[in-house]
Amino acid sequence: MLEKHNRILYYLYMDIRVLKYFLAVAREGAITKAANILHVTQPTLSR
C-alpha cells in the first residue's frame, strides 16, 4: 500500500513540476529566460 501511495505522490509531483515549467515559459515569453529563472537547463524545458 505504501508503495502505491509513493507512486501517486511521485506522479503528482511530476505533474506540478511540468505545470511550473510551463507557467514560467509562458510568463517569461522565452525558454532561455525561464530556464535561467528556474535554474534548469534549456533542454529540460523544451521537452
Chain segment 11-34, per-residue pLDDT in tens: 888 889 999 999 999 999 999 999
The reported pTM is: 0.75
Q: What is the pLDDT of residue 1?
A: 65
Q: What is the pLDDT of residue 13?
A: 83
Crossing angle of helices 31-38/2-28, nearest 10°? 130
